[in-house]
Amino acid sequence: MKTTATVVELNGGIATVETERTSACEGCHKMSEGNGCSVCSLMGSGRKIRSKAENRAQAKIGDRVVVETATSRVLLYAALVFVLPILLAVAGWFVAGIFSSGTLWRGIGAAIGFVLTFVGLRIYSGAIGKRKADAVITAVVAPASVDRSEQ
């Protein structure tokens, strides 16, 4: 997967890049109406996302760059966020069913499984944030503009 981003921070060979969430909104018919959809309202259209990327292109702060991520990694993260909560909610439903045949308790079990997914994902996210970056800066699209006030 490729996207363009702006380098906002450098730390050795790792850069922090910032990109706007746009791919999910590009095909939405509500965007042409100018008001966006409920997802845009919840998530904030144009929201900037920061991530770490290996700086193979020797980009500098302010540069517009091409950032690539392995498709398998993107699919893994999508499965963790979209499929795992459903699986753990179903598991919670069945585990609660072992202890009680009541629908209320099964629903509570499903809700607990669903919520625990995101607690686990938060912990996992913190752990992977400390390891090597999954994305790679492959090219500089536009170098940072020169600040005229410094000349």
Q: What is the mean pLDDT of residues 32-48?
A: 56
pLDDT tens for 89-134 read 999 999 999 998 889 999 999 999 999 999 988 888 777 766 667 7
Residues in the chain: 151
Helices of type H across the chain: 29-32, 38-43, 71-78, 84-99, 103-128
pLDDT confidence of residue 126: 77
Superfamily of domain 1-26+37-70+134-151, CATH level 4: Nucleic acid-binding proteins (2.40.50.140)
What totals of helices (H) and strands (E) does the chain contain, helices first? 5, 5
- Tokens representing 6 are 């702006």
pLDDT tier, 149 (very low <50, low <70, confident <90, very high otherwise): very low
Distance CA 87, CA 150 (A): 56
